[in-house]
Structure 1
Amino acid sequence: MVSTLVMIVLSVTVGAPADDWSVLPGHSQLKDPQSMMTNYLLGQIAEAQKRWREAYEKRTTVEEIRQHQEFLKREFLRRIGGLPERTPLNPQVVGRLQRKGYLVEKIIFESQPRHFVTAVLFLPDPAKYQPPYAAVLVPCGHSNESKGYKEYAAFAALCASNGLAALVFDPIDQGERHQWRNPDGKFTLWGTAGHNMIGVGSILLGRNTARFEIWDGIRAIDYLQSRPDIDPQKIGCSGISGGGTQTSYLMALDPRIKAAAPGCYICSLYGRLIRENGPQDAEQNIYGQLALGMDHADYCIMRAPAPTLLLAATRDFFNIEDTWMSFRLAKRVYGRLGYPERMDLAETDTEHGFTVQLREASVRFMLRWLLGRDEPVFEPADLDVPTAAELQCTPQGEVMLLDGARSVYDLNRDYAQELKIRRENLWKTTPLEKLLERVAEIAGVRPLEDLPRPDVTVCQTVNGETATLEKLIFRPEPGIELPALIFTPKDRQPKSGVIYIHEDGKATDAGKGGPIDELVQQRKLVLAVDLRGLGETQRTGQTYFRPEYHGPDGQDFYLAYHLGKSYVGMRAEDILVVARWLKEERLPAGVPLELVSVGYLNSSALHAAVRERDLFQHIHLVRPLISWDNVVQLGFSKNRLVNTVHGALEVYDLPDLVRVLGERVTIQDPRDAMGQEWSGHL
C-alpha cells in the first residue's frame, strides 16, 4: 500500500487525475466540500438577517424611521457610485402611431451625452381625456424585445385607454439598446448576460449596472415633466421582473414617483431567493447591502408613506411567501407613520410575468392614487397593441449604430481615465503606509496579527526517496477548510519555503517534472494549497452567470458581494494564515519564504504580499492580469468577476502593488482581461 502511494506521489505525471492528490475524502468535516463557500456565506447572511430584524423592530418612532430612510438612500447611492450630472436630454420625436383609443409617440433622448435611450410614449385620446395627463413610467423586464414585448406594450396601451400616459423605455442591453458590439459588428450580449458583463468593469470603478438603469429612469421622468401635456406632479412607475427591480430602485430614490407598483421582484434577499435560486444578475446585487441591512422590503420602506402596490404571482420563482413577508414588514412601517392603507399587495395565481390580472391591478392602483378615480378596470380582448417592429425608434434597430453613440462601456472608460489621473496624483502626494492601509481596507485584508491561527490536521504522510509528502487540512475559521500538500526535501535543510497557489487547484502543477517538482529538486519546501473555493472546494454546476464569461464562482461571488466581502481579500487572508504557519511550524529559523501564484490568484497574492511586506522574500507571478484598468478598457472580459474588488480603481490598480514590492516580484507571461498574452509595458 505504501509503495503504491509512493509511486503515485513521486512518479505521477502532469495531468494525472486530481483525486491522486485529494485530501478531504475521509477527513473533511464538511458535508459537501464543493458547497463550502455557499454554505459559509449563507451562514453569514443569516447572521446579518438577525441584526437587520433586530434593528427593524427597534425603529418605531417617526423620527427614527425618517432618519433610517435618509441613511439608506445615501448608502444606496454611494454603493452604486452616485449619479451623473444632469445634461441636456435632446429629445426627438421620431415617429407617431394612431391606434384604437390612443396615440403613440416614438422618442429618442440622451440620458447622458450621446448615450441614447429609446422609448415610446402612449398618450390617451385627447377627444376623450384632456391633457395634462398623469403619466406612468414603465421600466421593462429582461425580454430582449423590451418596450415591444407584448405584455409591456399591452400595459401601456391599457394605461392610455384609461386616461393615463405611459412611457415605456428600453433598458441597456435590451430592445434597441444593446451596448456590446463584436469586432464583426454583431450584437451578441443582451439581457442578463449584457448586464453581468457591464457589472465586471463597473464593480472595479465603485459602480453598479443598476446605476445606469436608475439614471435612465430618472431622466425619463425628467422628459415626462418637460412635456406640457404631462402633469409633472402626477407620475407613477410600474414594471415587472427586471422592470420590477428598476421600479423598486426608482421608487426608493426618486420622490417624484407618487405611486409605484413593482411586480414579480420584491421578495427577500435574506430569504429563499439566494438560498434556492442564488443571487440574480448584476444590477440586482448592491455592494454590501445585506451587511448594511437593505433588503427588498427596504425599497418600500425608503419611500413610506407614498402609495405602493406589490404585484405578485403565486408560482413565481421570486418566492411568494417572502413577498408577503416583505409586504408585511413594509406595511408595519407604513402603519407606524400613520398610513397603513397606502401599502398594498395584489397576488394572482399565475407564474412570473406581467399577466393581465397584474396589468389591470396596476392601472387601477395608478388611477386611484394619481387621479382619484377608484373604479374597476378590465383589459378588453380587442386591445390594440402595437408590435415590436411598429415601436422601433432607430433606423437600424440599434442605438449604437447612431452617429456618435456612446455605450455604457464608453462611459466607464471615461470614468476610468479620470480615476487614473486621480490615482497618479494620490500616489505622488500620499504617504505609502496610509495608501496601503486604504488598499487593505478596500480589499478587506486584515493584518496578520489579527488573523486567527488555523487548526491543522495532518491526514497522511508518505515518505519517498527524495521527498516527503504530507496531506493537510487548514481550518482558519469555522466552515472553511483549505486542503494542502507539503513537499519536504529529505535529509537536507530546505533553502526556502514556498507557498504555491494555482487558480485550478493545488494538484495542477504537482506532477513529476512539473513546476512544484522542480522547486523541490532545488531544495525548497513547497506548500501547495487550495485557497477557499478552489480545487477540492470549487463549486460546480453553477450556470446562471455564464461560466464561459465569468468562471464558476459567479453566484458565490455575489453572495460575498452582498456582504461587502471580496474573494480577492478573503483568499489573501488564506495566504497569510498558511504562510505564517509554514514559517513558524516547518521552516528552520532564518529560512526565507517565497510565494508562487498562477493565474487570477495573482491579485490575492499581491494583496497578501503588500499587507505583510516582510513576510515573503520573493513573489513570482505566473500569467497575472496586467491591470484592472485593462478590464474596463476592453469591456468584454473572461473569468475576471471573482478577481474584482469594489471601488479599487478609485485608489489603486494592480501595477501599483507591483511597484510597492519592487525587485522582489518577478512576472512571467502576463495576460490581458481576455486571457490573451500581453507583450506591452506593465
Structure 2
Amino acid sequence: MHHRYLLAATCLLICPLVASAAKPEQAGAVSPSEIVNHRLLEKSQALLAKRREAYEQRTKVDDIRHHQQRLKQYFTEAIGGFPERTPLNPQITGTVQREGYRAEKIIFESRPRHFVSGTLFLPQDKKFPPPYPAVLVVCGHSENGKAYDGYQASCALLALNGIAAFIIDPICQGERKQLLKPSGTPAIRSSTTGHTQVGIGAILLGWNTAQYEIWDGMRGIDYLQSRPDIDGKRVGCFGNSGGGTQTSYLMALDERIVAAAPSCYITSFERLLPTAGPQDAEQNIFGQLAAGMNHADYIIMRAPRPTLICTATKDFFDIGGSWDAFREAKRVYMRFGFGERVDLAENDDTHGFKKPLREAAARWMLRWLADRDVAVTEPKIDLLSDEEMWSTPQGQVMLLPGARSAFDLNLEEAQRLERVRAEKWSDQTAAQSRERVRKTLGIPEQKEIAAASASEPGQQTDVVLTTTSEVPLTGKWLKPEGAPTGTTLYLHAAGADKAVDDDADLKALVDAGQSVLAIDVSGIGTTQPKGRRWYNESFGVNAGNAVLAYLCGTSMVAQRTEEILAIAKLMAEVDGKPSAPISLVATDELCVPALHAAVLAPELIDEVKLIRPLISWTEVIRGKLTQNQVVNAVHGVLREYDLPDLVTFLGDRVTIIDPVDGQGKPVD
C-alpha cells in the first residue's frame, strides 16, 4: 500500500499507511508483522456486521428517530460534549472587492480568546438584495486553510449566485497554526500531524480534535445568524476531504443546517479500514464502530433534510463505500417519504474539490436554500492571495494578544481534572481503586481472564502463547540450573530476542537463579508492524493499530494489559504447580500496560520494575509535542487517574528507573 496524497499549491490530505492491507478473509496470508492489524480488522468488521443487521431491522420511522437521537447523544458524549456559548466578540478586519462579490475578513472567538479566522464572501447587493442565504464552508487539510484555491473558488461561486459563503480555518491550518516557534513561524507544518498532536491530549481528557472543529463550525453559524444581512433560517454547509469530515459531523449534530454537501469523504468503514486505513485524529470517534456509527449514519442522523454526497471515482475514500452509504441513506429517506432529498454526485476524477463538484454543491445549495433549481457554471474567478485572505495583521491568530491554542485548552482541562481526581482517590479502598482502573481500561474482571495457552504444550526455551487477542505472543523462557529462586516476566520494548541477546539486567536475573520469561506482547518484536508509519514518524509504529482499537472502543494499553495478565496466570501455574508471585520488568512503551497489570493483579504480580517509563499523561499534554504516545493513549483516562496515581497506589512494590516525558526525554 502506498501513501496517497494530493498536492496542488499546498498539500491537502495525506492518507496514513496502515500496517496491513490484508483483508480479514485473507487470514492464511497474514505475516507476523501484520497480525495485530489483521485481528483488529476482524474485530472492526464484526462490529460493522452487527450494525448492518440492526440497520436492516430498523424499518419504522419512530425507530429511526430513536436511532437518530441515540447516536447524536453518543456522538456528543464521545467527543467530550461542548463548552458553553460565550461572546463571539467578532471583528471585521478588512474588505476585499472583487467583480460580483466582496470578501470580508473576520475574526471571532469560539471560546474565550480562542480565535477563529474566516472570510465571508458576500453577493453584490444590487443583483441580490439581502438578507442572503448562507453556507458555512469548512476546509480540507490544506496547509493554507481557507486560502486554498479550490475552497476559495467554491465560496466565490456561491456569492456570484446570490448565496453568502463563510469559510473558516480549522485548527492547525491557515492562520490557525496552534503552535509557533519564537520566530512566529509554525512549529508543526502538517495539518494532519497538528490535528493528531492535539488529539493525543484530547483523547486522554475524553475529548477529540473533532470537538474543536465542530464547535468552531457551530459558532461560525452563530456568527452568520447574528448578522442582519444573513437569513439565519437558510443555512447550509459543505466542505471537501477533511472539510467533508467536518461537514458530516456538523450536519449530523446541528439542526440549523438545512442543506449539506460533504465532498470526498463519505464512504464506509467496511471499505476504508482495509484500504486507506484510519485517518487523522478528528476522523476517528472513540468506540463508534461498537456504537454502530458508520459514515452513512452521518446522513441518516439528519434525515430527511437535504444532503448531497459529493464523490470522486478514483478517490482513496473508496467509491464503492460511497455508493453503499448512499444506498443506506436513500432507503431511510424513502421511509420518511422524502427520497429526493438525498443524492450523490460522482466526478470521474481523483480526490479533490474539482470544478464539477463545486458546481454540483453550489446547485444543491441554490435548490434548497434559495428555491432556484438552475444549472451552475463556474466562470474564471480572480482569487485572493493568501495575504489578502488574512484576517490577522501577521497571518497567525496565535500572535494576537492573549490567544489560547487547543494545546492550552487541553492543558487547562487536564489541570482541572487533576483537582477532581484528588477527591476521587482520597477516600477509596484499594479494591475500589482497582475497579476504577479496570473499568476505565474496559477489560474483564481478573477472574474472567483466562490464562494464556501454549501453542505446543511442554515448550521449553522457545514459546508461543495465545490469549483472547488471538495474536501469537512469542518469547523465550530462560530457566536457571537447579531450582529457580523466583519467576520474572520480562517485557522489553525492543523485543524478546533483543532482550535475551543484549540486556545485561535480564542475564543477571537468570544468573541469580530466576526463571525468566521474555515475551513479546501485541505490536512488539515479531508482531511489530513494518513499513511506513501512520502519518508521521513521531506517532510510532503501532499508532495505526492503536487508532483501529480506538474506533472499536478499546486501546492498545487495554489489549496489552490483558495479555500480560493472561501470561502471568499461565506462569503462576507452571506444570500445574502454583509458583511464587511473579516479578514484572518492563521497558519504554510497555511500562504503561505493565503498571496497570501490577495494580490490577497483586495476587499474581508481587513487584514491578519500570525502566524509562512515561512520567505522566498530564506531562504528555503539558509538553504539546509528543513521541510515540498514540499507543499509550486511553480515552478519558485523566477523568479517573494518572500514572502517578498508580505508582502511589503500588507504593514500595514499584521501582522507577530513568523516567521520561511525552517526548521520550529524561526527567528528574
| TM-score, scaled to structure 2 | 0.94
Q: 1:306 to 1:588 in 2, by over 3 A?
A: same
Q: Deviations over 1:285-321 (max 9, x none)?
A: 0000011110000000000000000001111111111
User: Which of these residues, 381, 384, 395, is aligned with residue 383 of structure 1?
Assistant: 381
Correspondence 1:293 to 2:292: yes
Q: Deviations over 1:567-622 (max 9, x none)?
A: 11110111111111111015964533100011121110111111112211111111
Q: 1:142 to 1:523 in 2, by over 3 A?
A: same
Mapping of 1:239-638 within 5 angstroms? Answer: 239-269=239-269, 271-380=270-379, 382-458=380-456, 470-477=461-468, 479-490=470-481, 492-511=482-501, 514-547=504-537, 549-585=538-574, 589=578, 591-638=580-627
Q: 1:29 to 1:240 in 2, by over 3 A?
A: closer
Query: How many pairs align?
Result: 641
- Mapped contact 2:496–2:525 kept (Cα < 8 A): yes
- Supply the distance in 1 between the matched residues of 2:533 and 2:267 (Cα, whole angstroms): 22
Q: Deviations over 1:646-674 (max 9, x none)?
A: 00000001111111111111111111111
SS of the aligned residue for 2:275 comes to: helix
Amino acid at match of 1:402: L
SS of the aligned residue for 1:186 comes to: coil
Per the alignment, residue 13 of structure 1 pairs with none
- Mapped contact 1:459–1:473 kept (Cα < 8 A): no
SS of the aligned residue for 1:53 comes to: helix
User: Displacement, 1:108?
Assistant: 0.6
- Mapped contact 1:314–1:350 kept (Cα < 8 A): yes
Amino acid at match of 1:242: G
- Mapped contact 1:416–1:629 kept (Cα < 8 A): yes
Per the alignment, residue 163 of structure 1 pairs with 162
- Supply the distance in 2 between the matched residues of 1:435 and 1:64 (Cα, whole angstroms): 40
- Mapped contact 1:445–1:607 kept (Cα < 8 A): no
Larger of the two Rg values belongs to structure: 1
Amino acid at match of 1:565: T
User: Displacement, 1:436?
Assistant: 2.0
Per the alignment, residue 58 of structure 1 pairs with 57
Q: 1:184 to 1:665 in 2, by over 3 A?
A: farther
Per the alignment, residue 7 of structure 1 pairs with none
- Supply the distance in 2 between the matched residues of 1:325 and 1:130 (Cα, whole angstroms): 41
Moved more, 224-233 or 444-453: 444-453
Q: 1:123 to 1:185 in 2, by over 3 A?
A: closer
Amino acid at match of 2:236: G
- Supply the distance in 2 between the matched residues of 1:589 and 1:407 (Cα, whole angstroms): 55
Amino acid at match of 2:634: V
Amino acid at match of 1:166: A
Per the alignment, residue 665 of structure 1 pairs with 654
Per the alignment, residue 633 of structure 2 pairs with 644
Q: 1:187 to 1:441 in 2, by over 3 A?
A: same
SS of the aligned residue for 1:136 comes to: strand
Amino acid at match of 1:480: V
Amino acid at match of 2:203: I
User: Displacement, 1:355?
Assistant: 0.8
Per the alignment, residue 103 of structure 1 pairs with 102
User: Displacement, 1:481?
Assistant: 0.3
- Mapped contact 1:458–1:470 kept (Cα < 8 A): no
Q: 1:586 to 1:489 in 2, by over 3 A?
A: farther
Q: 1:512 to 1:349 in 2, by over 3 A?
A: closer
SS of the aligned residue for 1:128 comes to: coil
Amino acid at match of 1:143: S
Amino acid at match of 1:456: A
- Supply the distance in 2 between the matched residues of 1:544 and 1:438 (Cα, whole angstroms): 32
Q: Deviations over 1:132-191 (max 9, x none)?
A: 000000000001111111101000000000000000110000001000224565313131
Q: 1:624 to 1:225 in 2, by over 3 A?
A: same
Q: Deviations over 1:416-474 (max 9, x none)?
A: 1110000001111344423321211111232332122333035997xxxxxxx600100
Per the alignment, residue 16 of structure 1 pairs with none
Q: Deviations over 1:373-394 (max 9, x none)?
A: 11111011x3232222211111
User: Displacement, 1:515?
Assistant: 1.4
User: Displacement, 1:512?
Assistant: 6.2
Structure 2 gap ranges (5+): 1-26
Q: 1:181 to 1:310 in 2, by over 3 A?
A: same
SS of the aligned residue for 1:196 comes to: helix
Amino acid at match of 1:544: W
- Mapped contact 2:543–2:628 kept (Cα < 8 A): no
Amino acid at match of 2:346: E
Identity, % of aligned positions: 48
Q: 1:513 to 1:168 in 2, by over 3 A?
A: closer
User: Displacement, 1:509?
Assistant: 2.3
- Mapped contact 1:452–1:476 kept (Cα < 8 A): yes
User: Displacement, 1:508?
Assistant: 2.5
- Supply the distance in 1 between the matched residues of 2:171 and 2:484 (Cα, whole angstroms): 57
- Mapped contact 1:597–1:620 kept (Cα < 8 A): yes
Mapping of 1:112-191 within 5 angstroms? Answer: 112-182=111-181, 185-189=184-188, 190-191=190-191
- Mapped contact 1:225–1:232 kept (Cα < 8 A): yes
- Mapped contact 1:148–1:386 kept (Cα < 8 A): yes
- Mapped contact 1:413–1:633 kept (Cα < 8 A): yes
- Mapped contact 1:157–1:384 kept (Cα < 8 A): no
- Mapped contact 1:138–1:168 kept (Cα < 8 A): yes
Amino acid at match of 1:66: R
Q: Deviations over 1:308-348 (max 9, x none)?
A: 00001111111111101000001101111111110111111
- Supply the distance in 2 between the matched residues of 1:286 and 1:173 (Cα, whole angstroms): 19
Structure 1 gap ranges (5+): 1-27, 462-468
- Supply the distance in 2 between the matched residues of 1:292 and 1:419 (Cα, whole angstroms): 26
Query: How large is the Cα RMSD of the aligned pairs?
Result: 1.6
SS of the aligned residue for 1:276 comes to: coil
Q: 1:478 to 1:441 in 2, by over 3 A?
A: closer
User: Which of these residues, 631, 649, 655, is aligned with residue 644 of structure 2?
Assistant: 655
Q: 1:485 to 1:96 in 2, by over 3 A?
A: same
- Supply the distance in 1 between the matched residues of 2:507 and 2:429 (Cα, whole angstroms): 41
- Supply the distance in 2 between the matched residues of 1:435 and 1:306 (Cα, whole angstroms): 47
Q: Deviations over 1:10-66 (max 9, x none)?
A: xxxxxxxxxxxxxxxxxx987311001111011111111110011001111111011
Per the alignment, residue 36 of structure 1 pairs with 35
- Supply the distance in 1 between the matched residues of 2:651 and 2:108 (Cα, whole angstroms): 50
Q: 1:157 to 1:92 in 2, by over 3 A?
A: same
Correspondence 1:210 to 2:210: yes
- Supply the distance in 1 between the matched residues of 2:536 and 2:599 (Cα, whole angstroms): 33
SS of the aligned residue for 1:498 comes to: strand
SS of the aligned residue for 1:396 comes to: coil
- Mapped contact 1:610–1:661 kept (Cα < 8 A): yes
- Mapped contact 2:581–2:603 kept (Cα < 8 A): no
